């Protein structure tokens, strides 16, 4: 079925990464078929969550896991879980728990905006954010002074290319929180290929978007200690009702984890390198453009392509080129956070060679003289 024709929609080429306003990722046929079959079936949902927990454990070695609607909801629900535990009355009344401590410490540079402010996820749990350190960084002593407050309930860390400033060291930060009896939640939304690394620092749970590189239907995974996972899932009797995972999402997650377990990472990396080289070679012969690969700043196992635009040689500057690509047919979207430096950044992971050729063609067509 061609959805673009049937519903009058615009096909796009997404070189912007796992970007929510463009549909985030592309599921494999196996995952898409599993999710579609789930839509026509009934299940015992607790059994689906149980299987998800087993699959998550088999995948990354954590004691337990569960599926929520997405990571934004997993942040809210895991913080709410710290406030309610398994107490049914607290769960039913949250987030209005005026007697229950509610301060969540996070490094100032981890107060990211991934389409909205992460601090809003904290507020939805009836909690309040306490920023440690400043935009330049967060030292151990900044964390210690923020954590030394009886109203603090947990530490939230973010592993993302969106964080700012240096530090803190995650191992050290977890130690400081645990020394005070406080659990640690890590938002690793786009870090599914590094979950084991993130768990290794001792955090109580790591939150991952299953619809990013795992490419399942929309879903958030909470991965970690059993108590934390159970109390987070228990929020479905309270505020979690509005943030629950669908049956098709949980089945899609199971299929996507199966595929991840079978993934030949060496081969996958070669495919990614081949795509980067294909586009870099095309860019290399266009006057005014220079291509360069950029390794992922947080350690995901793939690179992105930077294209530096010399306006004199190319006939347009980076900003004009990005809008021309967006305004063409089909629209081509890329990362625009470094346009001021004259740089376009493209993520090619979900793209086909056909789409990459289309990007190369358009870069040629838009050059001065065409």
Backbone angles phi, psi at 135, to 5 degrees: -60, -25
**Residue closer to ligand PLP (CB basis): 57 or 160:** 160
- Per CB under 6 A, does 72 bind ligand PLP? yes
- Per CB under 6 A, does 189 bind ligand PLP? yes
CA distance 276 to 328: 22
Segment lying near ligand PLP (by CB under 6 A), choices 25-33, 66-74, 92-100, 239-247: 66-74
Residues contacting 271, CB < 8 A, separation 6+ = none
- Per CB under 6 A, does 70 bind ligand PLP? yes
- Per CB under 6 A, does 71 bind ligand PLP? yes
Q: Which of 220, 224, 238, 240 binds ligand PLP (CB under 6 A)?
A: 220
**Residue closer to ligand PLP (CB basis): 100 or 210:** 210
Residue count, binding to ligand PLP (CB under 6 A)? 14
CA distances to 76, 109, 139 from 136, rounded to whole Å, are 26, 7, 10
Q: Which of residues 194-213 bind ligand PLP (CB under 6 A)?
A: 209
Backbone angles phi, psi at 355, to 5 degrees: -70, -35
Q: Which stretches of 133-284 are assigned E, i.e. beta strand?
A: 152-158, 184-187, 205-209, 220-224
- Per CB under 6 A, does 158 bind ligand PLP? yes
**Residue closer to ligand PLP (CB basis): 102 or 209:** 209
CA distance 13 to 206: 31
Q: Which of 190, 283, 303, 305 binds ligand PLP (CB under 6 A)?
A: 190
- Contact between residue 156 and residue 110 where contact means Cβ atoms under 8 Å apart: yes
Least separation in angstroms between residue 273's CB and ligand PLP is 24
- Contact between residue 271 and residue 70 where contact means Cβ atoms under 8 Å apart: no
Least separation in angstroms between residue 112's CB and ligand PLP is 5
E strand or H helix at 136, and its extent?
Answer: none
- Contact between residue 220 and residue 62 where contact means Cβ atoms under 8 Å apart: no
**Residue closer to ligand PLP (CB basis): 53 or 73:** 73
101: nearest Cα among 132, 127, 120: 127
**Residue closer to ligand PLP (CB basis): 208 or 325:** 208
Least separation in angstroms between residue 190's CB and ligand PLP is 5
Q: Which of 57, 140, 160, 230 binds ligand PLP (CB under 6 A)?
A: 160
Q: Which of 22, 162, 286, 324 binds ligand PLP (CB under 6 A)?
A: 162
* Strands of the sheet with 343-346, listed across from one edge: 289-295, 303-309, 343-346
CA distances to 51, 333, 335, 340 from 360, rounded to whole Å, are 44, 13, 16, 22
- Structure tokens belonging to residue 104: 């969540």
- Per CB under 6 A, does 350 bind ligand PLP? no
**Residue closer to ligand PLP (CB basis): 152 or 210:** 210
Segment lying near ligand PLP (by CB under 6 A), choices 51-59, 88-96, 184-192, 329-337: 184-192
Least separation in angstroms between residue 207's CB and ligand PLP is 8
Which residues are bridge partners to 137 per DSSP? 134, 166
- Contact between residue 111 and residue 156 where contact means Cβ atoms under 8 Å apart: no
- Structure tokens belonging to residue 261: 């377990």
**Residue closer to ligand PLP (CB basis): 126 or 188:** 188
Residues contacting 17, CB < 8 A, separation 6+ = 190, 304, 335, 347, 349
Least separation in angstroms between residue 309's CB and ligand PLP is 26
Q: Which of 16, 20, 258, 317 binds ligand PLP (CB under 6 A)?
A: 20
Q: Which residues bind ligand PLP (CB under 6 A)?
A: 20, 70-72, 112, 114, 158, 160, 162, 187, 189-190, 209, 220
């Amino acid at each position: 079925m061609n959805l673009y024709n049937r519903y009058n929609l615009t096909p796009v080429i997404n070189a912007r990464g796992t970007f929510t306003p463009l549909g985030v990722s592309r599921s494999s046929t196996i995952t898409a078929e599993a999710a579609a079959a789930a839509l026509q079936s009934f299940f015992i949902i607790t059994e689906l969550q149980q299987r998800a927990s087993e699959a998550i454990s088999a995948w990354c070695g954590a004691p337990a896991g569960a599926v929520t609607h997405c990571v934004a909801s997993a942040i809210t629900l895991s913080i709410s879980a710290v406030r309610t535990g398994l107490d049914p009355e607290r769960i039913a009344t949250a987030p209005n728990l005026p007697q229950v401590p509610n301060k969540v410490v996070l490094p100032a540079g981890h107060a990211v905006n991934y389409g909205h402010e992460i601090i809003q996820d904290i507020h939805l749990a009836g909690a309040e954010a306490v920023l440690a350190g400043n935009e330049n960084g967060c030292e151990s002593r900044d964390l210690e002074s923020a954590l030394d407050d009886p109203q603090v309930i947990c530490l939230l860390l973010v592993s993302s290319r969106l964080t700012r400033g240096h530090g803190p060291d995650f191992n050290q930060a977890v130690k400081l929180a645990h020394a005070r009896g406080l659990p640690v939640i890590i938002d690793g939304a786009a870090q599914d290929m590094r979950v084991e690394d993130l768990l290794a620092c001792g955090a109580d749970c790591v939150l991952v978007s299953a619809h990013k590189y795992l490419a399942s239907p929309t879903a958030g995974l909470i991965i970690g200690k059993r108590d934390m996972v159970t109390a987070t899932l228990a929020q479905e009797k309270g505020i979690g009702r509005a943030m629950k995972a669908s049956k098709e999402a949980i089945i899609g997650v199971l299929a996507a984890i199966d595929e991840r377990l079978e993934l030949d990472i060496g081969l996958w990396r070669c495919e990614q390198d081949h795509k980067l080289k294909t586009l870099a070679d095309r860019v290399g012969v266009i006057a005014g453009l220079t291509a360069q690969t950029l390794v992922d700043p947080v350690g995901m196992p793939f690179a992105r392509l930077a294209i530096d635009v010399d306006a004199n040689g190319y006939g347009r500057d980076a900003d004009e080129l990005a809008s021309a690509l967006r305004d063409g047919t089909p629209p081509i979207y890329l990362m625009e956070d470094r346009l001021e430096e004259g740089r376009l950044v493209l993520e090619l992971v979900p793209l086909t060679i056909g789409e990459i050729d289309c990007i190369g063609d358009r870069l040629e067509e838009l050059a001065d003289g065409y």
